Structure 1
Amino acid sequence: MGAILLKDATIIDATSKHHGKKRDILVENGKVVKIAATIPTNDAKVVKKDNLHVSCGWFDSNVCFGEPGFEDRETISNGLKVAAASGFTHIALNANTEPVVDNKSGIQYVKGKAQGHAVSLHPVGALTQKSKGEHLAELYDMTTEGAVSFYDYQHPIENANLLKIALQYAQNFDALVQSFPMNPSIARTGLVHEEINSTKLGLKGIPSLSEELQITRDLYLLEYTGGKLHIPTISTKKSVALIKEAKKKGLDVSCSVSINNLCLTDDTLASFDTNYKLLPPLRTKEDVTALKKGLEQGVIDGVTSNHDPRIIEDKKTEFDHAAFGSIGLESCFGALLGVVDVETAVQALIGLKKRFGLPCNAISEGVNADLTLFSPSTTWKFETKHILSTSKNAAMLEQPMQGKVYGVFANKKLVLNE
C-alpha cells in the first residue's frame, strides 16, 4: 500500500506529546513517518473526514465468533471484518468453539484463519480440557503458539484447588488466568438479576451474591498463590469495591466490564426480549452508576463488547429456553461514548492491551501505525441495518449512539467504512 495521509486529525493519546492537538499524520509502509500541523499531500492517499479523531488501535478482550464448529453463528473472517468496521485493531478470541480450543493445534488453527486481516486475532485458550473444569488444558504449549490468556468462557471454575494450581503453574511462563465471576451453586438455574423486576416478571433470579462470592474466593486464592488474575465482565457495585480493595493490597488483578452492563439495566426485561438475556445479567441503576465510577477511577481496566453471536433458533424462543448472549462489536463505541467522555472511552478500549501482552505505542513518528479513526460528535440510533455480524442478536438495538467509527489502519491495511 502507498502512503496514507490523515488530514486534520485530533489525536487522543494521553501518552503522546501530540495529545489533544489537531495534526496531519503521514503513514508509509505501515509506519508513522511524520506528524505535523500540515503535511503536503504529494502522492499520498488523503483521508479527510468530519471531526476526524485518531487514537491507538482499540482492543476487545472478550470476543466470541463460532469457528470452528459454529460457523453459522460467525466465521473468523467475517468477524474480523466486523471488528475492523467497529474500530478494533486487536481482539482476544474466546475458546467456546467445537472442538474447544484447548491445545496448540487449536491455537494454530484460529491464528491461521486470521491471516491477512487488518485486525490481529489473539487466541484465548481454554483453561481446562474441553472447558469442563476438571483438568488443566495444555497451558504452556498454547502459550508457545501465541495464546494470550486462559479462560473457560462463562464457565465458572467450581473447584477452588484447580484455580489455585492454575495460578501457581501459570507463573512459570507469566501467563494470565481468567476466572468467570459466578458461583454456580448460588446462581443455579437463574435467568436474570434477582431483584424486584425478576419477581414482577416471574423469572428466576441470579443474585449479585453469586458474583461477589466467587470474586471474594478468587481474590483469596490469588493472595495465597501470587500470579496474574483477570476477572472478566464484573457487574455489581460490590464487585467494584472488592477489586478496588484487592488492588490497594497490591494483588495482581485486573477486570473488565461488558458494555451491556455499563449502559442497560434490568428495567429492559419488561419486554421479555431474549436479546436482554445476558451473562452477567443486567443489574440495577445503582450497579450501573458504580461500574461507571469504577471505570472512570481506573478500578475497572477496560470495556468489552462481550460479543457473543447466537443463531435465530437460540433467541426466537421462550425466555427460559433462550441462550444467553448478545453481539456487541458494532455498537460498543457508540454506546460507551454515551456514558463517558471521549478520553475515558478511548482509555477503556485500550486499557487491557498491556495486560494481554499487546504493544500499545504512543502515537509518534517512527512507530508502527496501529490506529483507530473516529468522530466523537456524530449521533445516531443503532438499527438492524447497522449489524454487520452474521447473527443479529443485539441487546443495543434501537439505543441512541454517540460517536461514529470511520475505520482503522493496522497491519499495513486501511479499512474505511462507507
Structure 2
Amino acid sequence: MRLCQDSSSTPATARLILADGTVLHGEGLGATGAAVGELCFNTAMTGYQEILTDPSYAGQIVTFTFPHIGNTGVNDEDVENASTSSSAAARGAVLRATATSPSNHRARLDLSAWMRRRGIIGVTGVDTRMLTARIREEGVMSAVVAHNAAGSFDEEALIRKAQDWPGLLGRDLAKGVATPSAFSATESDWRLAEGFGTGDPNGPHAVVIDYGVKRNILRRLVGAGCRVSVVPAAASFDEIMAHEPDGVVLGNGPGDPAATAEYAVPVIRKLLEAKVPLFGICLGHQLLALAVGARTMKMPQGHHGANHPVRDHATGKVEIVSMNHGFAVDEASLPDTVEATHTSLFDGTNAGLRLKNAPAVSVQHHPEASPGPQDSFAVFERFVETMRREKAAA
C-alpha cells in the first residue's frame, strides 16, 4: 500500500514505512537518515520533550496523538535522561501538524533543531489518527522513519529494514542506556523563578539502580528528603551495598524485563534476603515481580500516556498517572507472598505490588510525573518513611 499525503510538486522529505509495506509521505524534521524501531502511540497532550528523552522509549518510534507538538519549543530543564548514555532514547517521532515557531518564556530552541542535535528523526503531516487506530486494532508494529532533504528514498530497502528488525521481545536494552559509572544526584524539584532546589545531605541514603532511570525520579527522591546515589544497571550486590544504602530503587528502563532479569533478578533477590527496603518503578516493578517468581507478558499496544487512571487498593482513590510500558506483570502468576496494590482502570492490568515478607513495593506507573498533578507523589514519601523505620529498627 502507498499513501501519499503531500499534494505539492515538491518531493516529500520524509517517510514512515511499516513492516507490512505501508508507506506514508510527510515532511521531515530533526535529524536526517533512517531509524527503525517499534511504532507506538502516546496520548499525552503535554510533555513531548520529556517523552522524547525518556530512556524507556529506547528502540521505539513515538506517534503523538495530540496534533500540536513542538509549539512551546524546548528548554534545558525538561530533559529526562539522567545519563549521557541514554541521550538517544526514542528513535523517531511522528506528528500530525508542523510545529510553529516556539512561543513560551522557557523555550531555548525550536523542536526540529533540538531533535537534530539529539539524533531524533521526525516526520510531520501524517494521519496520526489512522496510525493510532491501526496500532489499537493490530498492536505495535515495526517501522522505519526516514528523513532526506532531497526527498530521495529507496522505499523497498526501507520496507525490508522494517521487516528485518527483531522487535523488543527478548531484548535487554537497559545496559545501553544506563550510566557506565556511579554518580550522586543532588537536584531537587524545580520551581518557577527559582530553578532546582537541593536536598538534605543527612537524609536516608537511596541507591538507584539505573536501568534507564528518568531524571525526575531522582529529583523526587531528593525532594522527599533522600541522599541519592545512582549505580549502573549491572551493578553487583556487593557494589550496591558498598554505598551503604538505607534503601534501593529499581528504576525504569526500556526493553523486555525477562531479558534484563538475567542479571538483575539475582541481585534483587539478594537485596530481598538482606531485607533492604526496595521501591520499583515501571521496569523496576516488573523486575521485582520476576524476582519473586511471577511472569511478565508483552502487551498488544502498551500503555503510553499521561491520562491513565489507576486505583490504589489501600485508599480506594483513583490517581491520574503517567504510563510508559510495553510489558506488564501477569497478576495471575503472583505468589501468595505478594499483594497487588494498584490496578489500571483502562484494562485491569496490574499496576503495583507489595511484598508481605519484605519491605518492598513497586508501581507500574511513573509517580514522578505530574499529570494529576501530584496524585502519586506520596509513594516517594512512604518509601522514605520505610527507610527511616527499617534503619531505626536495625
Task: Please tell me the TM-score bracket, short chain as reference.
Answer: under 0.3
Choose between structure 1 and 2 for higher RCO, CA contacts under 8 A separated by at least 6 residues.
1
Normalising by structure 1, report the TM-score: 0.24
Q: Which has a greater percent of strand? A: 2
Normalising by structure 2, report the TM-score: 0.26
Q: Which has a greater percent of helix? A: 1
